[in-house]
Structure 1
Amino acid sequence: MPTYAAIATVETGRFQNAQELASIWGDVQTDLEDKNCHLIDAYVLLGERDVLLLFEADSREDALQASIAVQRYGISMDTMEAMNVDRLGELVDEL
């Protein structure tokens, strides 16, 4: 199952405090699961972006649908397919 990294920005003014933002994570995880995705981990970031989500998806289409579903919470995601660094050796062997 491919892994995806989504770097997200939370809409300004959408949540009044960190507790309100934390209260939606169960719903976000449910939405991901409804789109055939499994949330591996989530991190709050300091800087230009607010959240990093790592998840697995059955397909690129499922990852796209999950990204769209999460946007309804006021979270805009840039989603990228991720590959474990350990696989780099396999790629070199294939070349």
Structure 2
Amino acid sequence: MSTYVALADVNEGEFQNVQELAAIWGDVRADIEGLDCELRDAYVLLGDHDALLVFDAEDEHQALEVSMAVERYGVHLDTMEAIDVDDLGKVVEDI
């Protein structure tokens, strides 16, 4: 499995308050796990984006399915594959 990170931006029109936003995270986790992926971490951010999701998926297709599932809740994701710094030497060797 590969690790993916997604910078999340909440569509404010979808949520009346922070409690409503917090209430969807259990459903988000369930949807991700229903796609045979694992939500490893989720963080609320201060700054340009609202949240950061870290999840494992088999491939880009599965990562896209995760993004589409989460976006149904009114949360836009910019998803990208993450490579562990410890694996950087292996990547360089392949070039």
Alignment partners' CA distance in 1, 2:3 and 2:90: 17
State the Cα distance separating 1:41 from its structure 2 match.
Answer: 0.1
State the Cα distance separating 1:19 from its structure 2 match.
Answer: 1.6
- Residue matched to 2:69: 69
Percent of residue pairs bearing the same amino acid type? 56
- Residue matched to 1:80: 80
TM-score computed with the length of structure 2 as normaliser: 0.92
- Secondary structure in 1 aligned to 2:49? coil
- Residue matched to 1:45: 45
Unaligned runs of 5+ in 2: none
Alignment partners' CA distance in 2, 1:94 and 1:4: 21
TM-score computed with the length of structure 1 as normaliser: 0.92
- Residue matched to 2:57: 57
Alignment partners' CA distance in 1, 2:43 and 2:82: 16
Residue-by-residue CA offset, 1:51-90 (whole Å, 9 max, x unaligned):
1000000121111011001111000101001010111122
Letter matched to residue 17 of structure 2: N
State the Cα distance separating 1:92 from its structure 2 match.
Answer: 3.1
Alignment partners' CA distance in 2, 1:73 and 1:34: 16
State the aligned residue count: 95
State the Cα distance separating 1:17 from its structure 2 match.
Answer: 1.9
Unaligned runs of 5+ in 1: none
- Residue matched to 2:15: 15
The answer (yes or no) to whether the contact 1:35–1:63 under 8 Å persists in 2 is no
Answer yes or no: is 1:6 the counterpart of 2:21: no
